[in-house]
């Protein structure tokens, strides 16, 4: 994720024709802090974007007012405040039919996290249950914390970056404690996976869509495929191969739903040279052909079709 923050005014367009638009996080000058916090209005019109798009950064949203639907990848979440949501880099999302949408947003890149890989693992687990309802007490605590983040960011006093990192870490830990918030560890360990397993999970987010094999991932990390499989299975309860397949399927689903790319181009984007083999792979993993899956989730927005108008 390093290098994804850009200077103000840099275009935020899709890297390849037909892909959903990509929003990047602008740097705050002169401090160049890869972080932003504030209300929907303070973050600008993109914060309520009604067209499918991706981020190169993390977004945490605390919804306090409004109605409508938040669409994240293939799931639709009713806006029913108060709620807390998490959007991970690379996910496709948009707001649909929202009215009176209010709340607070926190945007940041992985290098900003004070807890490093541990915080990234918390975010990954939060992303498994990305939309949770808040009770009155939790809503009040979250409002105070989001307010502190926004105020510290807005004022930019001496040492503000360190304060922001600490407050963000508190927000992640508290969110992970919520029912359905992604707390706990893998395979009954009682703690998030560490070290080598974390490194593989970070790599898998891009390796799966690039078509890398378990052996190639192991070579990049510097271990044998057997050792990688043993460690990842112990930490997550799943094999590296299964996790790579999962990431390829997720990316294919995003492209099928959020773009008008032909199936053969979707296949190429997730690392398949043979479109027919991709179709067999997709049917085996999902239970439907790519064409049928697209028809069953036909919610594409014309503005992001090839040749259509951008954001």
Is the Cβ–Cβ distance between 67 and 185 less than 8 Å?
no
Domain boundary among 144, 177, 210: 177
Token reading at 19? 């892909």
* Domain count along the chain: 2
Contacts of 71 (CB under 8 A, 6+ apart): 52, 77, 93, 94, 95, 96, 299
Separation of alpha carbons 248 and 241, rounded Å: 11
For residues 172 and 32, membership in a common domain is answered with yes
Classify residue 311: in a domain, yes or no: no
74's tokens: 């293939």
pLDDT band at 169 (very low <50, low <70, confident <90, very high): very high
Chosen domain end from 113, 143, 177: 177
Mean predicted confidence (pLDDT) in 181-189: 42
Q: Are 143 and 64 in contact (CB under 8 A)?
A: yes
Tokens read off for 224: 């044998």
Whether the full predicted model's pTM is greater than 0.85, yes or no, is: no
Q: Note the pLDDT tens digit of each residue in 4-63.
A: 444 444 444 445 666 677 787 776 655 667 899 999 998 888 899 998 888 889 999 999
Same domain membership, residue 254 and residue 142: no
Q: Which pLDDT does position 150 carry in this prediction?
A: 95
Q: What is the mean pLDDT of the chain?
A: 81
Domain assignment of residue 66, yes or no: yes
Q: What is the pLDDT of residue 257?
A: 82
The answer to whether residues 171 and 231 belong to one domain is no
- Two tokens, residue 56: 């190169």
Could you tell me if 203 and 154 lie in one domain?
Answer: no
CATH number at 89 reads 2.60.120.280
d(CA 62, CA 47): 12
Q: Residue 310: its pLDDT value, please?
A: 35
CATH number of the domain that residue 284 is part of = 1.10.10.60
Tens digits of residue pLDDT in 59-94: 999 999 999 999 998 889 999 999 999 998 888 899
Write the DSSP string, 48-78: G--S-BEESSEEEEEEEEEEEEEEETTEEEE
β-pair type (131-133, 75-78) = unpaired
pLDDT band at 135 (very low <50, low <70, confident <90, very high): very high
CA-wise closest residue to 63 among 118, 111, 134: 134
Give the closest residue to 152 by CA, choosing from 104, 196, 83: 104
Residue 268 within any structural domain of the chain: yes
Count of CA atoms in the C-beta half-sphere (13 A) of 200: 33
Average pLDDT over residues 108-135: 86
Position 10 in a domain: no
What percent helix, strand, coil does the chain show, rounded to 5? 45, 20, 35
Domain presence at residue 1: no
| Preceding peptide of 59 cis, ω within 30° | no
Q: Give pLDDT, residue 21.
A: 77
Q: What pLDDT is recorded for position 110?
A: 83
> What 8-state DSSP symbol labels residue 28?
B
Residues 166, 207, single domain; the answer is: no
User: φ, ψ for residue 120 (rounded to 5)?
Assistant: -60, -40
Whether residues 98 and 30 fall in one domain: yes
Report the percentage of the chain scoring pLDDT > 90: 39
User: Do 116 and 203 belong to one domain?
Assistant: no
Domain of residue 206, residue span: 196-304
- Segment 277-297, tens digit of pLDDT: 999 999 999 898 999 888 887
Half-sphere exposure of 218 (CA within 13 A, CB side): 16
Q: Tell whether the model's pLDDT for residue 2 goes beyond 50.
A: no
Of the residues 110, 144, 177, the one at which a domain ends: 177
**Rounded to the nearest 10 degrees, what angle do helices 136-155 and 160-177 cross at?**
160
Tell me the CA distances in angstroms from 175 to 171, 197, 208, 284, 293, one per residue in order: 6, 23, 28, 35, 33
In 3D space, the residue among 51, 62, 5 whose CA is nearest the CA of residue 31 turns out to be: 5
């Amino acid at each position: 994720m390093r290098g994804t923050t850009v200077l103000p005014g840099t275009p935020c367009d899709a890297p390849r024709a037909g892909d959903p638009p990509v929003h990047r996080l602008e740097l705050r000058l002169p401090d160049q802090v890869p972080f932003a916090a504030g209300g929907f209005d303070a973050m600008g019109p993109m914060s309520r974007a009604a067209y499918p798009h991706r981020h190169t950064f993390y977004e945490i949203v605390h919804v306090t007012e409004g109605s409508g639907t938040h669409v994240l990848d293939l799931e639709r979440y009713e806006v029913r405040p108060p709620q807390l949501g998490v959007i991970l880099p690379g996910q496709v999302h948009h707001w649909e039919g929202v009215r009176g949408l209010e709340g607070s947003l926190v945007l940041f890149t992985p290098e900003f996290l004070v807890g490093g890989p541990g915080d990234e693992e918390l975010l990954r687990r939060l992303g498994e249950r990305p939309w949770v309802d808040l009770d009155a007490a939790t809503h009040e605590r979250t409002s105070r914390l989001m307010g502190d983040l926004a105020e510290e960011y807005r004022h930019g006093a001496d040492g503000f970056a360190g304060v922001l990192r600490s407050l963000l870490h508190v927000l992640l830990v508290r969110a992970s404690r919520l029912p359905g918030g992604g707390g706990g560890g893998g395979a009954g360990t009682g703690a998030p996976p560490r070290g080598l397993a974390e490194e593989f999970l970070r790599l898998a987010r891009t390796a799966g869509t690039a078509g890398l094999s378990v052996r190639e991932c192991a070579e990049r990390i510097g271990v044998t495929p057997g050792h990688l499989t043993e460690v990842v299975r112990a930490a997550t309860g799943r094999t590296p191969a299964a996790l790579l397949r999962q990431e390829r399927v997720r990316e294919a689903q995003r492209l099928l739903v959020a773009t008008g790319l032909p199936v053969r181009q979707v296949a190429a984007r997730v690392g398949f040279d043979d479109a027919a083999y991709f179709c067999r792979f997709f049917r085996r993993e999902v239970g439907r052909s790519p064409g049928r899956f697209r028809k069953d989730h036909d919610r594409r927005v014309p503005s992001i079709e090839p040749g259509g108008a951008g954001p």
